[in-house]
Amino acid sequence: MKPDLQIDSNERGALCESVIRKAQKEGLTVNRTALVVGDYLLGEACVEAKSIPDFLMSSHSGHLWRQLENMDANYARFFLVVHGDIAKHVALAKRNGVKGVTYSRVQNELIGTIARIMADFECQVFHTKTTSEAASFIIKLHDKLHKPASSHGARNIRRVSTNDVRLDVLMSIPGIGRQMAERILEKCGSIEEALFEESLKGIKGLGPKIKHRLINVLTSEEPVHIERKIRR
């Protein structure tokens, strides 16, 4: 059974409305709730959606990067959907008197920022021209995330090196992605050293909740059940 599609209670606008319509058409249950981070929660995966203007402005202000760090700290998998037509964005900016805005400049900034995100985070980024396409992607992603992997899926690839096995152990803990696992190993040197809170100090993006979860999972002699906490 597929989990409900959760939408942040502050999310509004054409994309949100389109997601709800398409979700209901697919028979998905939609819940509005206050999410810790992100706009849409697809089971254990988080999706942040931004229009082109919002994407560029939040990148300049630093807000986008804080959001990505928060998603990296709270979810094993997270996605960014950027929606909007570059040509329409440029035309609107010119009508509003913004100088120096060209298609190539916006395109280069968009591509460069997306490349930076994918290099720095275990975040997959998808760009669509319209909100309808973005909504369809979110619904399709929800569907694919909760189906068995195909025969050529990445989940069938076996990792064999010792270093990859250590990463896999850490990445099996909800809220720890590949980048965070690499930071932990770089700082601690070994999983054994990560058992101690003192060793985990100063790791970028590793908040107290995930830190406590990591130590609890690695040291508990009893089964550990992790419940996703969402602010309400």
Which token pair is 63? 């807000």
Tens-place pLDDT, residues 16-26: 999 999 999 99
Residue carrying the six token digits 């990296």 = 72
Q: Within this chain, do residues 60 and 130 fall inside the same structural domain, yes or no?
A: yes
Q: Within this chain, do residues 186 and 99 fall inside the same structural domain, yes or no?
A: no
Asked if 40 and 7 count as a contact pair (C-beta separation under 8 A), the reply is: yes
Range of the domain at 75: 5-145
Vertex 164, ends 161 and 167: CA angle to 5°? 155
CATH code for the domain in which residue 165 is found = 1.10.150.20
Given 125, 145, 165, which residue is the final one in a domain?
145
Q: Within this chain, do residues 139 and 25 fall inside the same structural domain, yes or no?
A: yes
Q: Within this chain, do residues 23 and 121 fall inside the same structural domain, yes or no?
A: yes
The answer to whether residue 229 sits within a structural domain is no
Task: Measure the CA–CA gap between 40 and 227, rounded to whole angstroms.
Answer: 18
The answer to whether residue 185 sits within a structural domain is yes
Q: Residue 43, class by beta-carbon neighbours within 10 Å (0-12 exposed, 13-18 middle, 19+ buried)?
A: middle
The answer to whether residue 227 sits within a structural domain is no
Is residue 206 over pLDDT 70? Answer: yes
Q: Within this chain, do residues 178 and 70 fall inside the same structural domain, yes or no?
A: no
The total number of structural domains in the chain stands at: 2
Which tops the pLDDT comparison, 205 or 187?
187
Given 126, 145, 164, which residue is the final one in a domain?
145
What pLDDT score was predicted for residue 178?
Answer: 82
Q: What is the mean pLDDT of residues 55-82?
A: 91
Given 112, 145, 178, which residue is the final one in a domain?
145
Element (H, E) at 82: strand 77-83
Provide φ and ψ at 105, rounded to 5°: -65, -45
Task: Give every CB contact of residue 212 below 8 A, 6+ residues apart in sequence.
Answer: none
Is residue 160 over pLDDT 50? Answer: no
Q: What is the mean pLDDT of residues 70-75?
A: 84
Percent of the chain predicted with pLDDT > 70:
89
Task: Measure the CA–CA gap between 185 and 179, rounded to whole angstroms.
Answer: 10
Q: How far is CA 42 from CA 13, 82, 143, in A?
A: 19, 17, 9
Q: Within this chain, do residues 169 and 215 fall inside the same structural domain, yes or no?
A: yes
Tens-place pLDDT, residues 137-158: 999 999 998 887 655 554 444 4
How sure is the predictor about 163, in pLDDT bands with cuts at 50, 70 and 90?
low
Task: Measure the CA–CA gap between 112 and 107, rounded to whole angstroms.
Answer: 8
Pair type for strands 40-42 and 30-33: unpaired
